[in-house]
Amino acid sequence: MGPEAAKLIGAGLASIALVGAGVGIGIIFGNYLAGALRNPSAAQGQFANLLLGFALAEATGLFGLVVALIILFVF
């Protein structure tokens, strides 16, 4: 296996983080919606936690994307 193939495999493995971010965001919003439907009066109090969880899950995916792009275009 040449260095170019190893670079492409490494970038593909690094981009798996995007799948995890998508699953995490779906779980976060799904659980928020289920909780909001059960107790609508408490939904507004949990909205800040929803946004924080979304931001952290999305940041994980973005870090994986940045690592994949660094592997492809820098090394």
Mean pLDDT on 38-42: 91
State CA 40 to chain mean position distance.
27
Residue 55 lies in domain: 3-73
Burial tier of 39 (Cβ tally within 10 Å: 0-12, 13-18, 19+): exposed
* Mean pLDDT, all residues of the chain: 90
Average pLDDT estimate for 40-60: 90
What the block records as the tokens of 25 is 């965001």
Instruction: Give the N- to C-terminal CA distance of the chain in Å, as an integer.
Output: 16
| Number of domains into which the chain is organized | 1
60 and 20 Cβ atoms separated by less than 8 Å: yes
CATH of the domain at 39: 1.20.20.10
pLDDT of residue 36: 92
